[in-house]
Structure 1
Amino acid sequence: MKVCHISFSFLIGGIENMLVDILEEQSKHIDTTLIVINDHYDKKILNRISNKVKIILINRPEGSKNPYYLSKLWLTLYRINPSVIHCHTPNIIDILFPFKSRCIYTAHTTGVATENLHNYKKLFSISKAVEHDLMDRGGLTSEMIYNGIDFTLFKTKKNYKVKPDEQFKLVQISRLLHEQKGQDILLEAMFTIVHKLGIKNIHLDIIGDGPSESYLKNLCEELKLQDQVSFLGPKDRSWIYESLINYHALVQPSRFEGFGITVIEAIATGIPVISSNIEGPLEVLQNVDSAYIFDINNVNDLVSDIRQVVSDYQDNEIEKKCLQGLKVTEGKFKVKDTAINYLKAYKQLI
């Protein structure tokens, strides 16, 4: 069986990192190809993919209507002749009509445009939250297959002792898109902690890049948080695997999210997660003791959760909670299971 995964772009982000892991797993069992349509990709993340996976770059300038690139894409697919074309951007079906009967699509978040999704042979969703969203907004049926990670790649936290003078370190990892990811809420919470409550011995690292970078940096200056907040830019997977253990907690303040792969990564590392109470992360964090949930957009509630995590470290409660969270999560979100479940679904489609 030949399967071809297609995306318009391939930059550092949750979808791409998850897809790299799935490609690696699937290539152990089937002929696997990745096609990136636009010249919008990160070589570092592509270099993480082993040579078992064929990588084809169409290199279309973003937005170009030059028929050359469409012809190149079609010719590539004719030559590969895949049994299944697995799309990861909703509107790819608009340019793949000659291959419509082989195209499937995975919705990676809530709120995706549903107008043309009925043209796919089959739809998949990465969580029950996304599954329900597709049904509620578009009347679309999808098969739910959870995303997953390779838990063995992460260093795990061993020392949960916090010295009296130790700086408490928070991290937020996502695309800098505050309308969705809610980094502005987190900065407002940091302002309250630092300037209203007078707690100076705390630091937040924000990992990622995106269209809100200038806005968030300006907000950070307005709130006089330059000494407590650092913008570290995007980081590759090796950094995530090695460095998450250096933090005391990960904060996920999103306003909407279909899943939340960074939440699972934090739990795999053995650090607690502070998350807004939206459907995707809540689904992941169900029955996880190391999860601290605050009301979406509620700065004071987020401040309260951050202070509670600090208190649980000081009271030696956090290690037990994190070990329980790892045990619960590891059994549900393994990337090997994700890849195998897709393989089973492919076979039913052929």
Structure 2
Amino acid sequence: MRIAMVIEAWKPICGGGQVVAYEVCKRLSKNYDCKIDLFVMNLEGYTGPEVEKRNENFRIIHVGKKKKWKFKDRLIWLIEVFFTLLKENKKSDYEIIYAHSNLPGIIAKLTSFILKVPSVYHVHGSGVRVINEMYNETLAGKIIYFLEDILQTKIKYNLEITVDRDFLNFENVNEPVYIPNGVDHSNFKAKSKKNKKTFNILFVGRLHPQKGLKILIDASRDLKNLFEKKNVRIIIVGDGPQRSELCSMVCEYGLEEIFEFRGEKRGSDLIEEYVNADLFILPSLYEGFPLTVLEAWAAKLPVLVSDVGDLPYVIKDGENGFLFKGGSSADLKKKISRILEMDTSSLSQIAEKSYRKLVDEYTWDKIVPRIYEELKRVR
């Protein structure tokens, strides 16, 4: 099977969508002998070769001149990747055009029409219901809302994959197939939490309005005395456009001794953050199926997350994790207070249940075969 896969952001940007694209490409190329070209943006900060050959069947092609992660540059890149893909097709004769949301859906539809091959669209999370609220109904918010709605629900693809069961309830010209994300849990080794002097709450993700970190800071202001009593530290791992604003909020509320911004981390450094934490938190306004939750489970870490996207389907409150009402700092405050009053043994039991669920259902060795079967069906 010869596949042209398209995703916008790539190194130095690395979020859940990028990890999914890479893991799917790696396993399809190795385990099923698929020939895959992954087309990505050539972003400022990336210093590697234009074409990365990952194995005999898998290449990553950084398209165009160096660009910033700005909307104008992204639109220019769409034109560049369109012509680059058609050029590469003369040598590779692609059988499937596979795009990851959002804007690459345009490329998938256009090139599949021209080349007369199936189009696949992989939705990692839909913010259609909250984007206007998140951006306070600005012009940018209206444009993003319009594009997401069109690309995710109004354009017909041969196959649409979603990681979010809530997305199945949207009015949609497609009939999306639900396939969750996965994780390689073999790299995570949980550490003993005995004799720790601090209780570390960990957030991992992009510092962006979507992630709801203002809600966490608001809740923390009211919990400051409890945090000081319990010696709580909130570790923020990641970077993004909201960093300066979030740091200012922390200072304004006098929470400098509680919050610590550690920047973006990857590989073993990121795993170390997970295994040293006591609780993982994700207060997002919207999500699909966040990889960070699976990574926390792999480190046998209890999780506290908002009830958005696929999370209410996979987490039973108080059983294999904790849920709070998305967007509600009051509910988040209640849940954090409740967790801090629990003993270590109870939290460990919850973390162990989530780890078993991960091993049984959410490893890449279980997820990628499902994607491959769907690709065979539409080829």
| Band of TM-score, shorter chain | 0.7 to 0.9
Partner of residue 142, structure 2: none
**Residue 270 of structure 1 aligns to a residue in which SS?**
coil
CA 1:338 to 1:20, structure 2 compared with 1: closer, same or farther past 3 Å? same
Report the 3-state secondary structure (helix = DSSP H, G, I; strand = E; otherwise coil) of the residue aligned with 1:90: coil
Q: Taking structure 1 as reference, are residues 34 and 307 closer, same or farther at Cα in structure 2, changes over 3 Å only?
A: farther
* Alignment partners' CA distance in 2, 1:68 and 1:108: 24
Question: Are 1:252 and 2:282 matched, yes or no?
Answer: yes
Match of 1:186 in 2: 216
Distance 1:318 1:198 in 2: 20
Structure 2: where are the runs of 5+ without partners?
68-72, 129-147
Cα distance between partner residues in 2 of 1:154 and 1:82: 37
2-structure distance, mates of 1:287, 1:196: 22
2:145 counterpart residue number: none
**How far is the alpha carbon of 1:198 from its aligned partner?**
5.0
Q: Which runs of 5+ in 1 are unaligned?
A: none
Structure 2 counterpart of 1:264: 294
Which residue does 2:95 correspond to in 1?
Answer: 83
Question: Offset at 1:237?
Answer: 2.9
Aligned equivalents of 2:168, 2:103: Cα separation in 1: 18
Change (3 A) 1:98 1:6: closer
Asked if residue 160 in structure 1 is aligned to residue 163 in structure 2, the reply is no
Distance 1:193 1:217 in 2: 18
| 3-state SS, counterpart of residue 82 of structure 1 | coil
Q: 1:189 to 1:36 in 2, by over 3 A?
A: same
Q: Which residue of 2 aligns with 1:59?
A: 64
Report the aligned-residue RMSD.
2.7
> Which of 354, 359, 363 is the aligned partner of 1:330?
359
Matching of residue 6 in structure 1 with residue 6 in structure 2: yes
Give the direction of change, closer, same or farther, for the CA distance of 1:127–1:312 in structure 2 (3 Å limit). Answer: same
Q: Does 1:99 align with 2:112?
A: yes
Q: After TM superposition, give the deviation of residue 170 of structure 1 in Å.
A: 0.7
**2:341 paired residue among 306, 311, 314:** 311
| 3-state SS in 2 of match to 1:309 | helix
Pick closer, same or farther for the CA change 1:37–1:297 going to 2, 3 Å.
closer
Question: Quick one: which amino acid aligns to residue 39 of structure 2?
Answer: V
Indicate the larger mover: 94-103 or 144-153. 94-103
- The reply to whether residue 122 of structure 1 matches residue 159 of structure 2 is yes
Pick one of 31, 36, 39 that aligns with 1:33: 36
Matched, 1:284 2:287: no
Classify the secondary structure of the residue corresponding to 1:205: strand
Shift of 1:231: 1.2
Instruction: Judge conservation of contact 1:287–1:328 (CA < 8 Å) in 2.
Output: no
Distance 2:159 2:227 in 1: 52
In the alignment, the residues of structure 2 paired with residue 41 and residue 326 of structure 1 have an alpha-carbon distance, to the nearest angstrom, of: 38
Could you tell me how far 1:45 is from its partner in structure 2?
A: 11
Residues in 2 aligned to 1:304 and 1:51: alpha-carbon distance in whole angstroms: 49
Deviates more, 1:86-95 or 1:331-340: 86-95
Q: Is the contact between residue 125 and residue 143 of structure 1 (CA under 8 Å) also seen in structure 2?
A: yes
Change in 2 beyond 3 A, CA 1:323/1:27 = same
Pairing 1:136-285 to 2, within 5 Å after superposition = 136-157=170-191, 159-163=192-196, 166-178=197-209, 180-195=210-225, 198-199=228-229, 201-285=231-315
Offset, 1:93: 3.9
Question: Deviations along 1:258-277, whole A, 9 cap, x unmatched?
Answer: 11211111111111101112
Matched residue type, 1:71 = F
Match of 1:23 in 2: 25
Q: Residue 294 and residue 162 in structure 1: after superposition, are their counterparts in 2 closer, same or farther (change >3 A)? A: farther
Higher relative contact order (CA 8 A, sep 6+): 1
| CA separation of 1:49 and 1:173: change in aligned 2, threshold 3 A | farther
Q: Is the 8 A contact 2:304 2:323 kept in 1?
A: yes
The 3-state SS of whatever aligns with 1:161 is coil
Return the offset for 1:162.
Answer: 4.7
Amino acid at match of 2:122: T
Structure-1 residue corresponding to 2:83: 71
Instruction: Output the CA distance in 2 between the equivalents of 1:328 and 1:109.
Output: 22
1:294 and 2:324 matched:
yes
In structure 2, relative to structure 1, the CA distance for the partners of 1:169 and 1:287 (3 Å cut) is closer
Q: Under a length normalisation based on structure 1, what TM-score does the superposition of the two structures give?
A: 0.88
Distance 1:68-1:130 versus aligned 2 partners, 3 A rule:
closer
- The residue identity in structure 2 corresponding to 1:24 is K
